A = this chain, B = another copy of it.
């Protein structure tokens, strides 16, 4: 086994499950090991205590005039339940069929350790890096990164940089280098409709007072026109249209055809806004989703209750240039205007976050594409993603800097599930990618 792989296996053996207090010591040991490893390869490394698990920050000798690159990663992992479904123990990594099998092998220890190995190789070979480097590794990504934002605010000056790189997203297929340049934003709310003061017998009172479970269905049904098009007035006002190059690019991205979506989701058919492909619907079009609906009897069989209240939990996925506060105001007006008679509405506004977009044709974007091409020997595809990654938006807002998303996670890598795995090939490509990236950024014309 190569030395990078041996060290990687050491890293994987820590059961650094951040959500479970029983593993707090393992998380701590993992952070300590990381500090010692980073110091060992020649980086000035500090462990920062937080209200939760510690952060690790490492940097090379910074030189005036060089570009500064911040590389973010996380050393904490998801729980392993149901552990009986694993083919080999989750914290005893092994290689089978060209893949490394272990919890965290892809998410995110593998992807972040490839960057560490790249830096180590470069330092060994060249004695220096082509950039000023900051590694920022947290231990709480899987539990919401709650202590990262305050840390960024408190250490804004020390973390000042020109560009950020993160390898914590997906690669569309094996051998297809992938650069992410956009994420959808989000705006969440919960609608609660109230009718009678307590649950009533639906025989005794049904027909003479409004039923909140019926009303919540009627209200939710006003949110869409046909095929998922959102009916909230003004919802699409600020949606940035897809550019022609994006449609052309995405049409060639593997694993995003209607057949692929059917296979991935198990849905009998795809369903969405007319005039858009599945990739376009997922990455560039906003949605209104019901994440939860409830009211009345939830058990087996029948109970003839007319419920006192009912709810719908809604999230709106947003795209550039929708503003979450503006959207929530429009949603609120819509819900008020369409509120069925006979019930009262409470609206709880939840969290939100802007959509993220970073021009892939910027000098740094082009540098990243060249690095991907070098590392994988193939032209990269440029994609957006449908989900939200709040820390990327946080870093944009606090540090004022864009993030290059250079994901190495394959569709079948089983993150958050049993039998998580990472191709050895991708680990090695990641090591090359890191070095090419630092080189390309170091020499880019920004």
Contact = CB atoms under 8 A, between A and B. Distances in A.
Contacts of A227: 341
A42 interface: no
A222 to B, nearest CB: 8
Interface stretch (A99-107, A124-132, A172-180, A306-314): A306-314
B213 A290 contact: yes
Nearest to A201: B387
Interface residues of A, number: 82
Contacts of A223: 214
Contacts of A294: 293-295, 298
Interface stretch (A43-51, A202-210, A243-251, A373-381): A202-210
Label chain A's interface by main secondary structure: mixed
Given A217-B312, A294-B294, A294-B298, A206 B266 contact: no
Interface in A233-267: 261, 264-267
A314 to B, nearest CB: 9
A334 interface: no
Contacts of A341: 227, 269, 271
A54 to B, nearest CB: 27
Q: How many monomers of this protein are in the complex? A: 2
Given A208-B271, A214-B224, A291 B266 contact: no
Given A202-B317, A205-B265, A270-B208, A303 B297 contact: no
Contacts of A186: 203, 304
Given A207-B317, A208-B270, A302-B350, 18 more contacts: A184-B203, A190-B302, A202-B291, A203-B317, A204-B386, A205-B264, A206-B317, A207-B386, A208-B261, A208-B265, A217-B221, A217-B293, A291-B297, A291-B306, A291-B307, A292-B307, A293-B295, A294-B294
Interface of A: 184, 186, 188, 190, 195-198, 200-211, 213-214, 216-221, 223-224, 227-228, 261, 264-273, 278, 281-282, 285-298, 301-308, 310, 312-313, 315, 317, 341-342, 344, 350-351, 385-388
